Amino acid sequence: MPTFEGPVMADWPMPAGSSPEKYGQFVIAAFDAVGAVACLDDDIASRAAGALPQSKFLGVVVGAGRVPMLNPDGRHRLSLEIYLIGQGLPLDKDPAFSVPIAPANEHPSNRTSPILSSPLPWTNFYVHSLCNFLCLVSRIHYDTMRSPPFVVKKQRHEIMLQTMADRNENVRRNLLRDNGHILNPPTEGADADVSYYTDESEGSEDSPNEVDLQVAAVYAKTAKVKAFVEIWTNLSTCDDPATFANPREFLALVRQLDAISRDYEARMMSQILSKPDTGSWVAAMVVTEVEEDVDRSRCSTVLSWIRRGLTSA
């Protein structure tokens, strides 16, 4: 079975006989935590990632993932939007927040299965509406002699509309439960796509000093930590469908990946702040916080590390 390592967008195999369809395949996806932290080039992070469960999920690829990341040749890494599929109806949320996949044909709201090129080889599987993710792909195992079951674009559109309605309804119910207020806002550092570092001389023509560059390099690395998956297009590589992880476990793995990234960030910032030549930089950052109108949400993480450094000094 051919394997594409570090695939780019052009490497995604199209279902045989489905032209001009490009997506819609049912695939096996394994969470690749080690691949996700490879950008950190850090042994501790790699060991922590390697200790995470090597969970495999069943999913349907509904389209490109729109996760911007270039490979060393300047080409866009392959990213996919995957809707995860579980055995049986979801039990942690409203069971109706799902879409049956043939040969499954029962649903609390009488939804019907989309038309597949061929039924799944297993029964009682459902798209779990609240479990869809954008992922980068570390490698693809592709059987050129076998095409996985797939759904055409019109059917994928129906799945997307149904799951979108379920997600909106879930949000509405949560807001009603919380009396219209979100009780648990995102915590500091929760968004890996946001840079929390602000240069004290932002907007000026001064060149960044060495500490500026070191801090910026840390955040540049952690910003590249994204969910990666390894893909198998041949469903027969799974001997027992009971071994597929529950779709809700994917989010737990993403959160553990985020914890590994934040631990790396903490260790690197501690190393930077422990150097003798960072004293003037720390003082300048504190003065900036007090005297200037800065974007506190962006520099709060750096300032928290400064305070820790000053406290322990």
Cα separation of 145 and 216, whole Å? 47
DSSP letter assigned to residue 14: P
- Tally of domains within the chain: 1
Q: What confidence category does residue 277 fall into, taking pLDDT thresholds of 50, 70 and 90?
A: low
Give a yes or no: residue 29 inside a domain.
Answer: yes
| Domain of residue 70, residue span | 3-192+226-264
Cα separation of 196 and 216, whole Å? 9
Q: What confidence category does residue 82 fall into, taking pLDDT thresholds of 50, 70 and 90?
A: very high
Model pLDDT, residue 232: 94
Give a yes or no: residue 110 inside a domain.
Answer: yes
- Of the two residues 68 and 199, the one the predictor is more confident about is 68
What phi and psi, each to the nearest 5 degrees, are found at residue 10? -70, -10
Please tell me the least confidently modeled range out of 10-14, 22-26, 79-83, 153-157: 10-14
Q: Residue type at 27?
A: V
Model pLDDT, residue 81: 95
Model confidence pLDDT, tens digit, residues 12-43:
887 665 556 789 999 999 999 999 999 999 99
Model pLDDT, residue 21: 73
Q: Are 69 and 224 in contact, with CB atoms under 8 Å apart? A: yes
Give a yes or no: residue 79 inside a domain.
Answer: yes
Model pLDDT, residue 244: 96
- Of the two residues 211 and 137, the one the predictor is more confident about is 137
Please tell me the least confidently modeled range out of 142-151, 247-256, 293-302: 293-302
Residue carrying the six token digits 């979801």: 90
For 274, the token pair is 């422990």
Give a yes or no: residue 216 inside a domain.
Answer: no
Give a yes or no: residue 312 inside a domain.
Answer: no
Q: Which of 302, 258, 2 is nearest to 142 (CA)?
A: 2
Give a yes or no: residue 306 inside a domain.
Answer: no
Strands (E), 35-124: 56-64, 79-87, 98-101
Give a yes or no: residue 150 inside a domain.
Answer: yes
Q: Are 107 and 98 in contact, with CB atoms under 8 Å apart? A: yes
Mean of the per-residue pLDDT values for the chain? 82
Give a yes or no: residue 210 inside a domain.
Answer: no
Model confidence pLDDT, tens digit, residues 195-237:
333 444 444 445 557 777 888 889 999 999 999 999 999 998 9
